Structure 1
Amino acid sequence: MKKQFNRMRQLANQTVGRAEKTEVLSEDLLQVEKRLELVKQVSHSTHKKLTACLQGQQGLDADKRSKKLPLTTLAQCLMEGSAVLGDDSLLGRMLRLCGEAEEQLAQELIHFELQVERDVIEPLFLLAEVEIPNIQKQRKHLAKLVLDMDSSRTRWQQSVKSSGLASNLQPSGAKADALREEMEEAANRVEICRDQLSADMYNFVAKEVDYANYFQTLIEVQAEYHRKSLALLQNFLPQIKAQQEAWMEKPSFGKPLEEHLAVSGREIAFPVEACVTMLLECGMQEEGLFRVAPSASKLKKLKAALDCCVVDVQEYSADPHAIAGALKSYLRELPEPLMTFELYEEWIQASNIPEQEKRLQALWNACEKLPKANYNNIRYVIKFLAKLTEYQDLNKMTPSNVAIVLGPNLLWPQAEGNMTEMMTTLSLQIVGIIEPLIQHADWFFPGDIEFNVTGNYGSPLHVNHNANYSSVPSPDMEQGERRQHEPARRPLSVATDNMMLEFCKKDGKSEGSLPGCHWALVEFGPEVLQEGAEKGLREPSTPETFVCPGSESDFTLPSSCLLRFEVPSLHVSPDAALCRDPPEAAQRLSGPSLTPRQEEEEEESESTAL
């Protein structure tokens, strides 16, 4: 109690300047003392914020932390959702894979937080709450010892003055000796404490590198955690993408054609085939098809059904306009038109050619440059539109009308600006492109086509009724092989198309009764002729002479070589030389294709004559 009183009195005297204050620390140690307080504040704040970043509860083991981790809860929710939906659905598979990924991420997070807690948070806590406070506590103890030393010195000096002796002489008496011993003992304690404090302060300065390493460790641990998390996600991502890519039920509207075909493994886009085959069943005679707007709700429903690859044919059989509208919407919503942006200028330039022969040839050249997927689908669509125009007397959709309503959905420019004004300007040119494609569909795209490719719908086979080609390549040929036949595919004079009509008129036949048979130059033996006669193939009674267009001389064919095939869907070998326009003599010989009833009547008349 007395010592405490002496300290307070000495401190008061030093405050008012009546007593000297002894400084036992050097200037460097005083700077270290100030730095200690700053480091303590920073360490305490960092420890507090870093602890708040932990998602798991601090101090628990790994199992208990895992149960309270948000990622673990999320993983459990995803796995439960996957079990509810099942692996039969794409969403169920996605939930399962994501749940497994989140579970593994949660384990990585727990390991990361435990390491951060062990290597960073706890050392920072010790620094801010233990090491620096111990040094500061020792500094306060030194301050008390210094006060004791100064107080002892003051009392000894006062004792010397009161005895009347000089300050440089030894005081006499037991009291003076006791005060001197107390002063020396206090000075000794101050010296010991100061040395200890100085050592601790210097150690703190030397260990600053270790303290800074805590934050380096934090970044390294974070980097390792994120590296492992990234590797884990990269391991799961291909599995997730594979599930997405393997899932066949993907939207088709607004998606690139190549992507849809690759995913579905088809050659013809599903909406195109579905709409075409349904229209072949129920809409070919519908007046204003593709021109009359459908019901908005019906169209929206059908588009959604087509996106899901689920279509009820019976439901839409009574509304062909909705089917036609869905087909138009699909073609229009393609990111790139079916006739491609790349060939847009070539299409337009071809339509501007005044001479019909050259214009048709230019359009044919552009067709041959289309990518395979686009070529197959435009061929499919044009063949269907050509078949649609066969019913123009009923549906009022002539090739021109069809080109007007569908042309802007097959070709448009890749340009910014007012598309409405642009399409108004270019509509006539686009019609000039699409209309001849429809009119000469069998010339641009030779060969028959099966509209019902997948066999899911009932649709008739499109038959080439006007096979006007020379050296026709096989429809199964690749695009590069078809180009090898380019010289033989040049359009013949348009007059040849009218020659057949003239021949029919001379024979008293109408335009609608154009011959549906193919003429082929083939060599048959007697056995084949006998077999052919039994199957309905008839041999001309006399050799006929006619001229094939593009040839320099007449051909006289013996009766064993010239046969008339009355099977409309007959496929002749590509090596057979087909004549685009049979001459008048051959035309008169063959006549129009006979229906089964007409054949029976003809056979009865022949038997009667015999």
Structure 2
Amino acid sequence: MKKQFNRMKQLANQTVGRAEKTEVLSDDLLQIERRMELVRLVSHNAHKRLVTCLQGHIGTEAEKRHKKLPLTALSQAMQDGGSQLGEESLIGKMMDVCGEAESRLASELMQHEVQLVRDILEPLNQLAEVDIPNILRQRKQLAKLVLDYDSARARWLQASKSIHFSTNYQATVAKVETLKDEMDEALNKVEMCKDQLSADMYNFSSKEGDYARYYVILVEAQADYHRRSLAALEGVLPTIQAQNDSWMEKPAYGTALEEHLKRSNREIALPLEACVMMLLETGMKEEGLFRIAAGASKLKKLKAALDCSTSQLEEFYSDPHAVAGALKSYLRELPEPLMTFALYDEWTQASNVSDPDRRLQALWVACDGLPKNHKANFRYLVKFLAKLAQDSEVNKMTPSNIAIVLGPNLLWSKTEGTLAEMAAATSVHVVAIIEPIIQHADWFFPDDVDFNVSGMFVAMTPEPDPGPFERRRPGSLVEGDTPRKDRYLSYPRSSPCPSPGLSIYPRTLTRQESRGAAAVSALYVVADESITVKETPAGEQEQPMPLPS
């Protein structure tokens, strides 16, 4: 209260001219201050007008923003009309094709507006509503500190003049010293605030080119948006001229993962999800899964069925080895491995780390560097493989065996050579990479996985008991039961079903535990070459691999 009173008194004296006012800012800083206020005003106005140009709503999620666009409504109306008219009507076909084009335009507009918000609106708002106001608040704080200093200085000067006329010399001298200390402290605060303010103001002035760049980015983004929109429209014309080609769906096998997911609007590749769902029904207890080769004709038929996205897959449930072979083929025929060429060196370097804990950490870093779609599909596959390894005592597929037979289909180098040569060069590293990831799947990917992610698969009802020479797919339900979605959720081995709100962490497993009690002699196929692998006998104990803290 006393400091406030002294400050008001000093301000009043300076206003009427009875006291001097200390100027702490140089002329160039005062000029920057004036320009800064003007920049704040024009930036605020530009931000406000640009917001009105957007068709979507700021702050909403991309999907909701997309649904609210007028182009999305037009696209939906055209596609609905095409569906009503049917493919036998040329108008219906054109409405469907053009509706898709309008949807692409809506997506481009949504992406364009998201870019405007991210690259222009948010920086402008930060500048006009945060950065400049913070500097101006510092300027006001400096003015208060200067008033405190002027007040303390005036009181010190007055006390110094009256020291010779005081009757109590020692008390007066002590008061003068106290006022001198107060003045020095106030001056120190002024200098500190002035230095910070000067640095911020000079920093603002030096970034004027960056602030001007926002408007250049706006024009560049608009130009890019219109080019992409034009390309989207021009892409419709060849489709109209060649209807047969436009309606042919590109197979999933041999197609890049990103392209397949984008075209099919899926999170998990169709062959991967379909094969996993079929194996969950009939293959988890099958001995030598992924190791024993399937019949060539059945495998070819299943791959063709998955390529055309047929839902008639019931006949393949009875042959888990064909399903496993189809899954291996999909992974092997990807133009880029699921674990990517770009991270090949990181994966191999991580596998060479001698310390188990650090190796796991290095593998986690490499895994975290996977592109979003690759990581999601890799997580889905690893969770399934970990679930498969839980039945290793029956199916003989331990994490080590799985890594041996499936690893070369997940990661290979970009160097030239046959698949067998690349697999041989990579196999040692791949096993050291894949095996610990499967063993500690719940540490690498803590969340549960709904294997029926698309919702298009349902549990099969039991079939009648077949004859002695007919192989029967094991039933998944008993009479009166209803399919449960959570039957396809992956849970850690330590708990069959996690409690709500609890995090599940895997315990430390020994390799002996994961491999089962018996020795396994495995024959598997990589690039049509047979390789025999002998596993460690059950009597030889191995040290457990501790999880990183």
TM-score, length basis structure 1: 0.39
If you compute each CA radius of gyration, which structure gives the higher value, 1 or 2?
1
TM-score, length basis structure 2: 0.44
